[in-house]
Structure 1
Amino acid sequence: MSASIDAAHVAKAFEETFGAAPQGVWAAPGRVNLIGEHTDYNEGFVLPFAIDRAAAVAIRLRDDNIAQLRSSYGAEGTVSVDLDTLSHDTMTGWTAYPLGVVWVMRQMGITIGGFDLYLHSTVPSGAGLSSSAAIECAVATAFNELESAGLSPNELVLVGQRAENEVVGAPTGILDQSASLLSTDGHAVFLDCRTQESTLVPLDLAAAGLLILVVDTKVSHAHATGGYAARRASCELGAEVLGVAALRDVVAADLPEAAGLLDDETYRRVRHIVTENQRVLDTIVVLDDAGPAAIGALLTASHVSMRDDFEISCPELDLAVDTALAHGALGARMTGGGFGGSAIALIPASVKATVRASVVQAFADASFTAPDIFAVSPAPGARRVR
């Protein structure tokens, strides 16, 4: 699944914790969104790819109705929950992600009894790389198999989204779970968030001598906090005033009229969604016609729109983008929900050391927390790994 997930190590940690071997280990990757930000809940277009960092869960079913959960980073030790009393009050902290999936699947009529679960993840938390969706998709994939639920990948996407929306409280769309569940090695996922139709798009960066460099700014974000919800509310207001089902139905030719109907802030939020949808479509065309080296300008334009129109960037993200562009990146943008997290830079592999050193120095000069910088490549989606 991933060079950064050792399934045998996860299985051993489970056995040391619970005294017996797990029935299996399942893993699901985090993701980088190449382009298409905040378009998912507006029924638009996105182009993410799974990365070679993942969440893995080892699970063994129990004969009772008790869930025991432990993670490699859970300072509280093993958490025990009676599934008969499962509620929003009992699904807290990191356990809200796996228990939220169980709650949703039980709500769907799928019988899930007690279980022991051990979680280990190499997806950085709060970095805008969908660490939460990786957990949800690993757990959903595991129970889909263990309980012979027969859910399709698209149905599992909606299980993860419901867990995120209804349990965690983050009003996200289907982008993250789709990337984690539908990706294949060496491809991005072109997703129509209205129809949930997806197409695999070749993204062979290595063959083009390119790589995606992730700059985790260490500015943590949380989707459940107000900024994300406020942006979604602005989009819903814009759609209502413009008389459309979703901003997916607004195109660039409609923007002059929209400017006369909306207040300035709402208009700029709408303009970002409309232009970002078009950038996703343009990126697909450019990838097919000219290859990944030609998409840099679209990535950078996306960042400018998120910075100025959607206002979800921050000084650290802007510095990462500007510095990467000044030292050889073909394009760069923040990725994820915003208000922190990570930026990505599309760079020739030959300038990796230069770009990395320049960003580290720029952060130090600005007295920002030192970033974590690493390369990612398109990886496979969720599956059983042991």
Structure 2
Amino acid sequence: MTDIRQDVLQGFEQRFGRRAQGVWSAPGRVNLIGEHTDYNEGFVFPFAINRRTLVAVAKRDDHVARVASTFSDEAHETDLLSLRPDKLHGWSAYPLGVAWALGQFGADLWTVPGVDIFVVSEVPVGAGLSSSAAIESAVAVALTDIWKLDFDRRALARVGQLAENKAVGAPTGIMDQSASLLGRRDAGVFLDCRNLHEEIIPLGFENADLELLVIDTKVSHSHATGGYAARRASCEAGARALGVESLRDVHVDDLPRAQQILDDETFRRVRHVVTENQRVLDTVRTLREHGPTAIGGLLDASHLSMRDDFEISVPELDLAVEASRGAGALGARMTGGGFGGAAIALTPRPLVGAVRAAVESAFAERGYTAPDVFAVSAAAGATREE
């Protein structure tokens, strides 16, 4: 963290010609299980990871907000009083969208000072590790401090989601921001997306000598593109046809009736969400009763459901899962919104090298771009850096 903290401070000074008032950070996240359930008011079980986005921030004497970063040559400047979602574009929609969303939640943008913000990130972009929520959450906690706002972490999760939905244009749920803001070391955030009740559940990976490997396939994806929106629309159509408020109200026992009512594609979309909700509940229960070595089959089943019923996997993700399981991973699945991104593999620490080698070899044999395989651990959520 020391090197990246120096990077963000130096970058701020070089870009804005003065010193930052402080540095704030927020992590990316891995979703252990519970994919495309959040916007269906279901259950998710992500955890914050030990790869973070840092923002250096300082107040200004006017109402101007300026944002710059190491990952884009584009710097953006706008007046806080003229912030509108439809006027934001590119990567700046994430930090500036948060400033706008704070105003929607009650911050008086007429009285708060302008800000300069510089962003540095070690969360891979497009890998399904929610680099977007890491930016949003870091900026949210920074502006809350700088502007002396009275928002708790749950409110800031809703702020980040609003920014993502309206400023970025991605119809995502609240899972990513919740994980980034509420995460704890070696624990997951079990979140009920209907009432936003969350519970911190110990993972126990450290004591069980397990590593969670992330396999970044380098197949980039974007939540703002059509596949994600189409899946969400299918879920909403399925709920309407079944006469329920959301798919949260459909249970596994209801699936035979659903199959009679729905067309095949919509039924399979519904079946994924319904069974995935149950897998989240089963994962939390299994962790409590039997520990982390017993959840591998649930991870495997989740991937098959996303591949066959929700149809959001790609050949590279399927290969990553197959190769890692063949080399000794206890369970594996794609993670994130799909159509690219990353897979995860829960792996005994002595087998990490073998799993990595097997995945890299399998990708090379198929002629795919070499994946980036690395371990992550569950980490603390967004904070001000000392």
Map residues 70-81 of structure 1 onto 2, 5 A cutoff.
70-76=68-74, 78-81=75-78
Counterpart in the other structure of 1:256? 256
CA-CA distance at 1:108 after TM superposition:
2.8
Map residues 126-275 of structure 1 onto 2, 5 A cutoff.
126-275=126-275
CA-CA distance at 1:89 after TM superposition:
4.5
Counterpart in the other structure of 2:351? 351
Structure 2 residue matching 1:266: 3-state secondary structure: helix
Counterpart in the other structure of 1:100? 97
Asked whether the 8 Å contact 1:10–1:58 carries over to 2, the reply is yes
C-alpha distance in 2, partners of 1:5/1:183?
23
Structure 2 residue matching 1:185: 3-state secondary structure: coil
Q: Of 66, 75, 83, which residue of structure 2 is paired with 1:68? A: 66
Counterpart in the other structure of 2:42? 44
Asked whether the 8 Å contact 2:105–2:159 carries over to 1, the reply is no
C-alpha distance in 2, partners of 1:84/1:248?
39
Label 1:164 to 1:333 Cα distance change in 2 as closer, same or farther (>3 A): same
2:301 matches 1:304:
no
C-alpha RMSD over aligned residues: 1.1
C-alpha distance in 2, partners of 1:175/1:320?
24
C-alpha distance in 2, partners of 1:184/1:210?
17
What are the Cα deviations for residues 231-262 of structure 1, in whole angstroms up to 9, with x where unaligned?
Answer: 00000011111111110111011000000000
Structure 2 residue matching 1:333: 3-state secondary structure: strand
C-alpha distance in 2, partners of 1:223/1:6?
27
CA-CA distance at 1:91 after TM superposition:
1.4
Asked whether the 8 Å contact 1:5–1:53 carries over to 2, the reply is no
CA-CA distance at 1:40 after TM superposition:
0.3
Label 1:89 to 1:238 Cα distance change in 2 as closer, same or farther (>3 A): closer
Asked whether the 8 Å contact 1:58–1:119 carries over to 2, the reply is yes
Structure 2 residue matching 1:337: 3-state secondary structure: coil
- TM-score calculated relative to the size of structure 1: 0.97
C-alpha distance in 2, partners of 1:244/1:258?
12
Counterpart in the other structure of 1:31? 29
Give the aligned residue type for 1:58. Answer: A
C-alpha distance in 2, partners of 1:86/1:157?
20
Map residues 313-324 of structure 1 onto 2, 5 A cutoff.
313-324=313-324
Give the aligned residue type for 2:140. Answer: A
C-alpha distance in 2, partners of 1:92/1:5?
30
What are the Cα deviations for residues 9-51 of structure 1, in whole angstroms up to 9, with x where unaligned?
Answer: 3122212221221111110000000000000000000000000
Asked whether the 8 Å contact 1:96–1:168 carries over to 2, the reply is yes
Label 1:31 to 1:315 Cα distance change in 2 as closer, same or farther (>3 A): same
Map residues 79-94 of structure 1 onto 2, 5 A cutoff.
79-94=76-91
Give the aligned residue type for 1:53. Answer: R
Structure 1's unaligned 5+ residue stretches are: none
Superposition misfits of 4+ residues, deviation over 4 angstroms: none
Asked whether the 8 Å contact 2:113–2:147 carries over to 1, the reply is no
Structure 1 residue matching 2:166: 3-state secondary structure: helix
Paired-residue identity, % = 59
What are the Cα deviations for residues 87-140 of structure 1, in whole angstroms up to 9, with x where unaligned?
Answer: 235311110000000011123331343111100000000000000000000001
C-alpha distance in 1, partners of 2:113/2:92?
16
Give the aligned residue type for 2:64. Answer: I
Give the aligned residue type for 1:288. Answer: R
C-alpha distance in 2, partners of 1:5/1:266?
49
C-alpha distance in 1, partners of 2:217/2:306?
17
The range that moved more, 98-107 or 316-325, is 98-107
C-alpha distance in 2, partners of 1:315/1:133?
26
What are the Cα deviations for residues 318-376 of structure 1, in whole angstroms up to 9, with x where unaligned?
Answer: 00000001110100000000000000000001011111011111111111111111000
Structure 2's unaligned 5+ residue stretches are: none
Counterpart in the other structure of 1:377? 377
Give the aligned residue type for 2:104. Answer: Q
Structure 2 residue matching 1:233: 3-state secondary structure: helix
Asked whether the 8 Å contact 2:4–2:120 carries over to 1, the reply is no
2:7 matches 1:12:
no
C-alpha distance in 2, partners of 1:325/1:9?
38
Structure 1 residue matching 2:207: 3-state secondary structure: helix
The range that moved more, 103-112 or 161-170, is 103-112
Give the aligned residue type for 2:190. Answer: F
CA-CA distance at 1:4 after TM superposition:
7.9
Aligned length: 383
Asked whether the 8 Å contact 1:30–1:180 carries over to 2, the reply is yes
C-alpha distance in 1, partners of 2:138/2:17?
22
Asked whether the 8 Å contact 2:186–2:206 carries over to 1, the reply is no
C-alpha distance in 2, partners of 1:142/1:25?
8
